[in-house]
Amino acid sequence: MWKDGKVKASFNTLTPELHPLPIMGLGYRWSLDFARPLSLTIRHHRYVFMMVEHFSKWIEFVALLDKPSEGVAYAFLDRVLSHYGAPVEVLTDQETEFQGDFQVLCDKALIDH
């Protein structure tokens, strides 16, 4: 602080340059995440698992009861791997639902997670 109680602020800082991930083509990279817990449905589903393909922006949604790794792995296998084949990369937020069985599935399919 200065003598008069004011703080000297500098507004000359540079904004860091963003480096977006290159999109290499259709099916190269998928992003996976969950929507926040939602209201319970009639079938007792609380979570929406979202999978987005980066090139086409194609979206797959799956309603899940909870977020265990085996359920996430099965949904990814059923909705993405069985229909579109294995991508080169999968982006997640590294939460526990993307470890365990999901990581084993990515390793077996040679997917960079």
Coil vs helix vs strand at 47:
strand
The closest of 71, 69, 78, 66 to 99, measured between CA atoms, is 69
Q: What is the pLDDT of residue 49?
A: 93
Q: State pLDDT tens for residues 39-63.
A: 888 888 888 999 999 999 999 999 9
Q: Where are the domains of the chain?
A: 29-109
Q: What is the arithmetic mean of pLDDT over 104-112?
A: 96
Q: pTM for the whole thing?
A: 0.78
CATH of range 29-109; options 3.90.550.40, 1.10.3720.10, 3.50.50.100, 3.30.420.10: 3.30.420.10
Helix (H, G, I), strand (E, B) or coil at 67: coil
